[in-house]
Chains A and B, each alone.
Chain A
Amino acid sequence: MNGGILDMAVSPEEVRHVAWLARLRLTAHEERLFSEQLSNILAHVAKLQELDVEGIEPTFHVLKTLSNVYRPDEVRSWPELREVVQAAPQQRDGLFAVPRVLPEGEDEVSAKNEKDG
């Protein structure tokens, strides 16, 4: 292995960090596997370093003319709303339910403050 490829190697620590950024929990096996496979893929795509891209504009998309498209901000009925909420893995009172975000203590404090306010 030459130094160039070594530079591309993604260590298991880096894999863990990237997994954290992507909100993915990986098994120890996946960490080792992705460390090796991502290193191989990055070594392959390093081919792009051969090209001189000085002064070349990037093409983020191919549309020649693109501007933001807006719609009027109007209230309208949404007959599918029930179906939309019902597709959620957990609902309560027509809303999406998620695990508690704040620890119980803090929640009570904020509830109390609201009441006081």
Chain B
Amino acid sequence: MRKMDEGCLTDLSVHQLRVLLERGEVAPRDVHEAYVRRIEEVDDQLNAYITVCPDFPPELENRHGRPVFPVAVKDNIMTRGIRTTCGSRILARFIPPYDATAILRLKERGLYVLGKTNMDEFAMGSSCENSAFGPTRNPWNLDAVPGGSSGGSAAAVAAGEAPWALGSDTGGSVRQPAALCGVVGMKPTYGRVSRFGLVAFASSLDQIGPITRDVWDCWVLMRALCGHDPLDSTSAPGQAPIPPPQSVESLGGVRIGVPREYLGPGVEDAVRDAVLKAVGVLEELGARAEECSLPHTEYGLSAYYIIAPAEASSNLARYDGVRYGHRTCQASSLLDMYELTRQEGFGAEVKRRIMLGTYVLSAGYYDAYYLRAQKVRTLICRDFERAWARYDLLAAPTSPTVAFPLGERTADPLAMYMADVLTIPVNLAGLPALSLPCGFARGLPVGLQLIGRPFDELTLLRVAQAFQQATDYHLYRPVVGGEVDG
């Protein structure tokens, strides 16, 4: 690894780029070309992108001095006129006729799409190995996974292939790859960011969130993304906007709970050590931290792997070969067409989850599995509600381990599901959470997860900002593959 180089455009965070653009020291086209060159240099090794848009949008050539920035977008977010595959064969040639609300909000603020990033098919996975377009590799170690499902977005930001990116988080899909790639990732409160134009996986859990080099940029993107959208009936009306980013020197008066269930067996020693050391830094900044308990944590994974596949099995019924996407050429009848289209179009993990979801919703099993899981979800929500009486936020590891070797868990679905054991409860309870780099183990990044009250993203951003002002973990960059250092 190496320290960031202030002279290298693709090493800078967006707020640093903004200064250079406003001073006129670089032009938006220079930034664009630097990123396109960087993608050409390293993406053969990383495979972070499914689609790259190499041409600088001509309509942005003269914005009267207002800065424009490229953004990488996970390939399950609709981008008008740009192929959106969801990492699946079934949408391999799909070109959306509209933009997601999140994309429109970013375009209004001078952002444009640099490319579409690789992901586990339909966001189902924790390693980016379930993509129909081949796995993405971790820029810190090419033999390790980048995490998933937003692995392409996290790897691209870590490797200097994008200054920032969008991901989506259903059970940890923004936070876990952010942790494994050493960048910042945030899952907003359920309802904060419009889901219009996000390909539906599990509708009661999905949220779009930013992946950035540092907390300041995350703060900027969160401000841009959040807000009510009449096109998403689950987006929250009347939500308080997030104020502009500012530096934070002291955390006096902030109360932090450290749930013991998040540091138990299965959490790597080096991860536990780095996270506890980070909590120590927050205490030095004035916060008060103490151990607490979320007793139903161990049931989160089981509840999730009933609820999420159940919702997915229903959402993915729309891929029938009629209105968009792949259609088999083998079929003679309508029924044949549905069945063969889906057989040819979906990969193994997607089929497994459709099967699991259909099973737990089917006659005779609904009460025992689905309804019981939704009641357990209530118990998990109550654990958090009790914590909010005593704490302003919770601190924990994002992932129980650092990035694991490519291929290690692909044959064992349950081992793969375990990668999300510390991120899933947050989705079940609809809470905001942020992952930021807090150390390294065996040369691989460790992520600190901060979990907040509903709609209190601001506290998480403030605490994370104070941490980054006091530490330099976010200033290291990976040396990708055979790249010559310096």
> A residues within 8 Å of B by Cβ?
10, 14-15, 18-19, 21-27, 30, 34, 37-38, 40-42, 44-49, 51, 53, 56-63, 66, 68-69, 71, 80, 83-84, 87-90, 96, 98-101
Contact check, A53 vs B356: say whether CB atoms are below 8 A apart.
no
Contact check, B429 vs A88: say whether CB atoms are below 8 A apart.
no
**How many contacts A-B (CB < 8 Å)?**
158
What are some 10 contacts across the A-B interface (CB < 8 A)?
A22-B354, A24-B351, A37-B413, A48-B302, A48-B372, A63-B236, A63-B430, A69-B230, A89-B324, A99-B332
Contact check, A24 vs B343: say whether CB atoms are below 8 A apart.
yes
Q: Closest CB-CB distance, A99 to chain B, in whole Å?
A: 5
In the complex, whether B320 has a CB less than 8 A from a CB of chain A is yes
Contact check, B327 vs A48: say whether CB atoms are below 8 A apart.
no
Smallest CB-CB A-B distances: 9 pairs: A62-B430, A58-B374, A89-B327, A83-B97, A69-B233, A25-B339, A53-B375, A45-B302, A25-B343
Contact-residue size bin, chain B (C-beta under 8 Å from the other chain): 35 or more
Residue on B nearest A57 in the bound complex, by CB? B378
Q: Closest CB-CB distance, A2 to chain B, in whole Å?
A: 18
Residue on A nearest B298 in the bound complex, by CB? A47
Contact check, A96 vs B322: say whether CB atoms are below 8 A apart.
yes
Given the contacts A59-B381, A63-B236, A18 and B340 also touching, CB distance less than 8 Å: no
Contact check, A38 vs B97: say whether CB atoms are below 8 A apart.
no
Q: Select which of B233, B306, B430 is within 8 A of A45 by beta carbon.
A: B306
Name the prevailing secondary structure of the A interface residues.
loop
Name the prevailing secondary structure of the B interface residues.
helix
In the complex, whether B459 has a CB less than 8 A from a CB of chain A is no
Contact check, B356 vs A41: say whether CB atoms are below 8 A apart.
yes
Q: Select which of B313, B355, B378 is within 8 A of A34 by beta carbon.
A: B355
In the complex, whether B352 has a CB less than 8 A from a CB of chain A is yes
In the complex, whether B116 has a CB less than 8 A from a CB of chain A is no
In the complex, whether B414 has a CB less than 8 A from a CB of chain A is yes
Contact check, A21 vs B333: say whether CB atoms are below 8 A apart.
no
Contact check, A68 vs B233: say whether CB atoms are below 8 A apart.
yes
Contact check, B323 vs A96: say whether CB atoms are below 8 A apart.
yes
In the complex, whether B126 has a CB less than 8 A from a CB of chain A is no
Q: Give Cα A58–Cα B336 distance, bound, in whole angstroms.
A: 38
| List of B residues within 8 angstroms of A59 by Cβ | 374-375, 377-378, 381, 428
In the complex, whether B8 has a CB less than 8 A from a CB of chain A is no
In the complex, whether B134 has a CB less than 8 A from a CB of chain A is no
| List of A residues within 8 angstroms of B484 by Cβ | none
Q: Select which of A49, A58, A99 is within 8 A of B371 by beta carbon.
A: A58
Contact check, A58 vs B320: say whether CB atoms are below 8 A apart.
no
| List of A residues within 8 angstroms of B476 by Cβ | none
Contact check, A41 vs B305: say whether CB atoms are below 8 A apart.
yes
In the complex, whether B440 has a CB less than 8 A from a CB of chain A is no
Contact check, B414 vs A44: say whether CB atoms are below 8 A apart.
yes
In the complex, whether B369 has a CB less than 8 A from a CB of chain A is yes
In the complex, whether B299 has a CB less than 8 A from a CB of chain A is yes
Residue on A nearest B190 in the bound complex, by CB? A62
Q: Select which of A10, A58, A84, A90 is within 8 A of B327 by beta carbon.
A: A90
Q: Give Cα A98–Cα B296 distance, bound, in whole angstroms.
A: 49
| List of A residues within 8 angstroms of B305 by Cβ | 41, 44-45
In the complex, whether B287 has a CB less than 8 A from a CB of chain A is no
Question: A18-B362, A23-B317, A23-B338 provided; 18 other pairs, C-beta below 8 A?
Answer: A22-B317, A22-B358, A23-B339, A23-B342, A30-B351, A34-B352, A37-B352, A40-B413, A44-B414, A59-B428, A62-B190, A62-B429, A66-B234, A68-B233, A80-B98, A98-B334, A99-B336, A100-B333
Q: Give Cα A60–Cα B335 distance, bound, in whole angstroms.
A: 32
Q: Mark B89-121, 1 if CB is under 8 A from A, else 0.
A: 000001111100000000000000000000000
| List of A residues within 8 angstroms of B296 by Cβ | 51
Q: Give Cα A1–Cα B375 distance, bound, in whole angstroms.
A: 29
Given the contacts A57-B375, A62-B430, A40 and B362 also touching, CB distance less than 8 Å: no
Q: Give Cα A42–Cα B305 distance, bound, in whole angstroms.
A: 9
In the complex, whether B359 has a CB less than 8 A from a CB of chain A is yes
Contact check, A99 vs B379: say whether CB atoms are below 8 A apart.
no
| List of A residues within 8 angstroms of B348 by Cβ | 30
Q: Give Cα A84–Cα B428 distance, bound, in whole angstroms.
A: 34
Q: Closest CB-CB distance, A66 to chain B, in whole Å?
A: 7
Q: Closest CB-CB distance, B96 to chain A, in whole Å?
A: 8
Contact check, B313 vs A84: say whether CB atoms are below 8 A apart.
no
Q: Give Cα A27–Cα B234 distance, bound, in whole angstroms.
A: 38
Most chain B CB within 10 A, of A10, A53, A59, is at: A59
| List of A residues within 8 angstroms of B354 by Cβ | 22, 24
Q: Closest CB-CB distance, B315 to chain A, in whole Å?
A: 12
